[in-house]
Chain A
Amino acid sequence: MTLPWHIIRLWVLISLAALLAGVLLRPAPTLADEELHHAGLVVRDAEARMTYAWVPFAEEEIDGIKLLHLSGIPVVTVGFGALGEGVCSIAGQGCGVAECRRNVCQGSTADAPYWQYFKQDPADPAAWTWQPLGASSSRVEDGDVFGWSWTAGDPGLPALAPGEIAKRAGAADEAVREPVFSTVLPDGVAAMMNAPPPDARTTAAAAAILILIAGSATALAVKRRAEAVA
């Protein structure tokens, strides 16, 4: 005996609705009761704005992309399947998603900058080692410090011990339970700002132009079709 088609369809719809409800109503994970590990993050953009982050995490180890996302710094990444994720922009510096999918923000010239990924040597805070496999393949453990620099060559990352990075990030101590980050601006450099949104009058004018185009398109199409019928 086979089930009627409409019952199968109803069952599939109910299953999908239940799955969606489960996904949307899933409680957010909390770090409150777990023993936490911590890692530091230093980000340097093209104009030497320095962002320091101190990030707690519950797992024994995480990857560099997760560290970046957990830090709370505005980040855009795109997935490259099994190769991991590429970093498009950090704190407003970088490139758009379309360009990032093409070339991970790397321009055609040898001196074109892009987001390069480094790890600090625990024994020598001044030594930053470039990570050729990228952030998805790096393992972040308790006490590690990683750096991102928008550069084509020298990272320009500071020689700071993890405790100092936590302090500059705004952490009261190294055992914080929430991620913290803070940006330090060099002299004469302004904070990264988004372009101001268009005002209401401009938006209304743009909407009116679109309505005019839509109206003209409809009128011309109706006229042409009427002519074709005649």
Chain B
Amino acid sequence: MSAHRARPLDPRAWIIWAVAATLPPLIGRNPWPLAATLLAVLGVWAAWSTGAAGARWRPLLRLAVVFGVVSVLFNLLTAHVGDRVIGALPESWPVIGGELTLNAFIYGLLSAMAIFSLVAVSATLGATLDWSATMRLLPERMAALAVAGSVAWSYLPRTTAAFIEIREAQMARGYRPRGIRDAAPLVIPLLAGGLERAMITAEALEARAFGAPLAPELTPRPWQVASLLGGLVAALTGAFCLALGQLMVAGALLALAAASLMAGLFTRNRGGLRLRRTRYRDPVWERAEWIVSGGAIAVLAIEIGVLVLDPVAFRYEPYPSLTAPAINLPLLVVLGFLLIPAAVRP
């Protein structure tokens, strides 16, 4: 008898896991939590990336390795700070001239590790998420936006696959790339194919009434549109303030954004009717989803607690002198629980 085919986990469980896994590389460069997170994420990726979905997202990981190498070189050549000098370039050379330090090399390496972790989380989501189920999580009024986003996202692996096919076809015709000028036989068919796929997708969507005007009784009121726009602007501004470290302003703006979006999305339309999407199959939320989401929420809560009580556990600077990074053993143990999705079987 063949083995029982595993169903995909519910997207909500994956999204909670992804939030917990992206926090360490986003908030610091301490190599210990970075390494623990990266190992756990790679374990989950390796366990779930079997089959065609995994193969589609593998080139993205290879690209992340290239970006990582670029990050190390860029930091080494442009950050002339630190106490461990390993060489020097003439001062007269613009931007890269000056001392080359081990400190800059190590910071570049840690940044590369963080970038790779984030890309590995994205690749895992890309290979495992059930996109149609994910789209259904969005409020009804954002269905059009969700379809557009989903189509755009699906173009990434499709373009990668098309690139590989075009390259193989051209090589069968004797094409051998020697430099940047030989890219035309690859880029032009890739662009033409991409435009053709976009046209076909647009026609298919239009044939299914995507983007058609709503019935008057379903049209949102002007204040609902204004509330949605205001909510989106507040969310973007709040995210910007958060990136600048202005926590109070960011918190106020994000709360305002949440209130505005809720008001815009969940109130009734002109005719008192609501858009309602029919479901062919209800989402499944069973023991595996409870275990993955529960574990991820616990990890997230402890990450936030450690960030408040012992921020050095996440942060590390090899400048101006190279010192040993701080270690928080309970945090490392907890980050190991990010491996849970590799252990459960839905």
Contacts and interface: CB of A to CB of B under 8 A. Distances in A.
Contacts of B259: none
Contact of A197 (B78, B95, B324): B324
Contacts of A26: 88, 90
Interface of A: 5, 20, 23-24, 26, 74-79, 81, 88-89, 96-99, 102-103, 107-108, 194-195, 197-198, 202-203, 205-206, 209-210, 212-214, 216-218, 220-221, 223-225, 227-228, 230
A79 B78 contact: yes
20 contacts: A23-B88, A23-B89, A26-B88, A77-B81, A89-B319, A97-B319, A103-B244, A103-B245, A108-B244, A108-B246, A213-B40, A213-B336, A214-B39, A214-B43, A216-B43, A217-B39, A217-B46, A220-B43, A221-B47, A224-B48
B327 A202 contact: yes
Contact of A213 (B47, B312, B339): B339
Contacts of B178: 5
Given A23-B89, A79-B95, A225-B50, A210 B36 contact: yes
Contacts of B336: 209, 212-213, 216
Contacts of A216: 43, 336, 339
B87 A23 contact: yes
B315 interface: yes
B95 A102 contact: no
Contacts of A197: 323-324
Contacts of B83: 74
Given A24-B87, A217-B43, A96 B315 contact: yes
Contacts of B248: 108
A92 B333 CA distance: 31
Interface of B: 2-3, 29, 32, 35-36, 39-40, 42-44, 46-48, 50-51, 78-79, 81, 83, 86-90, 95, 100, 107, 178, 241, 243-249, 312, 315, 317, 319-321, 323-324, 326-327, 329, 332-333, 335-336, 339, 342-343, 345
A88 to B, nearest CB: 8
Contacts of B39: 210, 213-214, 217
Contacts of A98: 29
B255 to A, nearest CB: 17
A114 to B, nearest CB: 12
A25 B46 CA distance: 45
Query: B32, B83, B312: which has the most chain A beta carbons within 10 Å?
Result: B32
Given A205-B329, A230-B3, 8 more contacts: A23-B100, A77-B81, A88-B319, A103-B245, A108-B248, A220-B339, A224-B47, A225-B46
A209 B32 CA distance: 10
Given A213-B36, A225-B46, A96 B78 contact: no
B41 to A, nearest CB: 9
Q: For chain A, what secondary structure do more than half of its interface residues adopt (helix, strand, loop), or is it mixed? A: helix
Q: Report the 7 A-B pairs with minimum CB-CB distance, sorted nearest first.
A: A217-B43, A221-B46, A197-B324, A108-B246, A224-B47, A220-B342, A228-B50
B25 to A, nearest CB: 12
A216 B44 CA distance: 10
Nearest to A228: B50
Contacts of A23: 87-90, 100
B47 A220 contact: yes
Given A74-B321, A195-B326, A213-B43, A228 B51 contact: yes
Given A209-B332, A213-B43, A220-B339, A108 B48 contact: no
Nearest to A76: B319
Nearest to A75: B320
A194 B323 CA distance: 8
A88 B107 CA distance: 15
A37 B83 CA distance: 25
A218 B47 CA distance: 9
Contacts of A212: 336
A229 to B, nearest CB: 8
Contacts of A74: 83, 320-321
A97 B329 contact: no
A223 to B, nearest CB: 8
Nearest to B37: A213
B43 A221 contact: yes
A205 B336 CA distance: 14
Contacts of A194: 321, 323
B245 A198 contact: no
Contacts of B319: 76, 88-89, 97
Contacts of A227: 3, 345
A80 B48 CA distance: 42
Contact of A198 (B320, B326, B342): B326
A225 B343 CA distance: 12
A12 B312 CA distance: 44
Given A103-B245, A210-B35, A81 B321 contact: no
Of B40, B43, B86, B326, chain A has the most CB atoms within 10 Å of the CB of B43
Nearest to A5: B178
Nearest to B321: A74
Nearest to B250: A108
